[in-house]
Amino acid sequence: MPFPVPRFLLVILLACVPVAADPVTRLAFGSCCRQNKPAPIFDSICQYNPDVWIWMGDNIYADTADPAVATGKYRRLATHAGYKALCDSCAVIGTWDDHDYGKNDAGKEFPGKKASQQRFLDFLRVPADDPRRTREGVYASHTYGDGDQAVKVILLDTRYHRDLPGPDADILGDAQWEWLENELTGSTAAVHLLVSSIQLVPCDHRFEKWADFPQAHRRLYGLLARDGIPPVTVLSGDRHLAEISVEKDAVPYPLHDITSSSLNSPGGGNQDEPNTRRLGENYRDANFGTLTIDWSTTPPTLAFAIRDLAGAPVREVTLRQER
């Protein structure tokens, strides 16, 4: 006859049983927030009730190499009631683009980049012992959930190591390229999101994009096309408009680029702006992006949406990440 387990020991044993992390089902993302303007869209983002919020760049408009000035601008956004409510309700992660980096269109030549990196990490409440505190660049990855219900978010830094645009110019730098390959190779997550502050798929417009760096553009497509590399969906910002684009030839699956911009300063481009890879029309009012995951299918079903100021979907695409 088995001996009864004392109650205190049973409590200890139960506490030691690993508990699977709940899968995330709702992620939201956005870019381009002017800290000195009203941002009522945060109320709609909170109403969507995301598990994770992803900043995609131009999170403030610092446009300075002075750390004190940047700190003050970050503080203004951090104390915004709607944004504070979002931070209190979900995980907040992200990368930067040029204006929060410190200068419009800047790359590795920007002299204030080291100080800017620390101010950015302070804003995201990144711990002092995080690798990003000591390495060059804010690139990072985050995995939510376990096993066949894991979501991996890979955040690129398209500024710290970026050359001036040109045929052989680079964007990521050697260390980040190696890191990216390692993050993708052998990853067992069910969903992979690749966050780039600038657009990857659109190639026709005159504004900043990966296509301005042909060698780096080809290199990234080559990596994504490689055997053993899981399919990804790209999330991008920067443009002060929203659109959904798809590349059908460069990799072995339809590669979608979901662009969401701006949270409170829209109006970029125009309705007739060229984009041969766009699905439907672009959207030029305030917006944020969302991903709702249906884990009942294999692979999971991913419902992406661009949402307006009130949180209503205005552009949508549903897909599964498979080759």
In this structure, which CATH number among 3.60.21.70, 3.30.450.40, 1.10.3720.10, 3.30.2130.10 belongs to the domain 19-319?
3.60.21.70
Q: How far apart are CA 111 and CA 57, in angstroms?
A: 19
65-92 pLDDT, tens digit per residue, is 999 999 999 999 999 999 999 999 999 9
Q: Find the helix packing angle between 81-89 and 41-48, rounded to 10°.
A: 20
Mean pLDDT of all residues belonging to the chain:
94
Domain residue spans of the chain: 19-319
Is the pLDDT at 255 greater than 80? The verdict is yes
Q: Rounded CA gap, 53 and 280, in Å?
A: 26
The percent of residues in the chain predicted with pLDDT above 70, rounded, is 93
Mean pLDDT of 9-16: 37
Radius of gyration from C-alpha coordinates of the chain = 20
> What angle do helix axes 81-89 and 67-78 make, rounded to 10 degrees?
80
Taking residues 229-245, report their average pLDDT: 98
Where does the pLDDT of residue 266 fall: very low under 50, low under 70, confident under 90, or very high at 90 and above?
A: very high
pLDDT at res. 16 = 39
Please say if the pLDDT value at position 3 is more than 80: no
**Residue range 134-159, pLDDT digits in tens:** 999 999 999 999 999 999 999 999 99
What is the average per-residue pLDDT within 250-273?
A: 95
Q: Report the pLDDT value the prediction gives residue 279, as an integer from 0 to 100.
A: 98
- Place 21 in a pLDDT band, splitting at 50, 70 and 90: low
pLDDT for the residue 271: 83
